[in-house]
Amino acid sequence: METRVPRARRAGIKKNFDLTKLARRRCVKCWRYDRRLDRHHKGHEYLFACLLPDKYLARYNEFRVEDVVDLCVKHHKSIHVIYKRRLGAWGFWTLLAKQDGKVTFVQAERFRKRLVNECHVWLRRGAGLRLKQELASSS
């Protein structure tokens, strides 16, 4: 019994020093928490779920931690403007038109992965320092 008490206390102390657990939800781009926050899918899975529901819809609805980031309304709008432009520059909309509004899973994955990367690059330019560190250590 006596040996258990200090062990539990140590665990408590460790927890208090874990900043990620103490931090409140913030926009990962500007670090503000006083605006409404949206969970943004980094790979724009919404778009791909519309095009290939069998492949993407279930996962989209899961809002997996590795797929989404918190963004304030302002920055959520900004990243989607960037996505739209990039997809244009990469020929996605042209491809979609050429194939009667359809894409294959292989094609979709290629664009989805580029969007995820685009989102990471965009976030690195922002004030999301903690995310920056997280990305550096995971890639």
Is 37 among the residues that bind Zn ion (CB under 5 A)?
Answer: no
Pick from 26, 37, 40, 131 the residue near Zn ion by CB under 5 A.
40
The tokens of 50 are what?
A: 């519309």
Grouping H, G, I as helix, E, B as strand and the rest as coil, residue 37 is: strand
With contacts defined by CB under 5 A, name the span among 2-10, 57-65, 71-79, 85-93 that binds Zn ion: 71-79
With contacts defined by CB under 5 A, name the span among 38-46, 60-68, 95-103, 105-113 that binds Zn ion: 38-46
Please identify, using beta-carbon distances, which residue of 10 and 64 lies nearer to Zn ion: 64
Is 75 among the residues that bind Zn ion (CB under 5 A)?
Answer: yes
Which x/- pattern, by CB under 5 A, does the window 5-34 give for Zn ion?
A: ----------------------x-xx----
Grouping H, G, I as helix, E, B as strand and the rest as coil, residue 25 is: coil
Max CA separation in the chain (angstroms)? 73
Pick from 37, 47, 69, 72 the residue near Zn ion by CB under 5 A.
72
For residue 67, which of 49, 82, 86 has the smallest C-alpha distance?
49
CA-CA-CA-CA dihedral for 108, 63, 117, 45, to nearest 10 = 20
Is 123 among the residues that bind Zn ion (CB under 5 A)?
Answer: no
> What is the rounded CA–CA span in Å between residue 70 and residue 77?
12
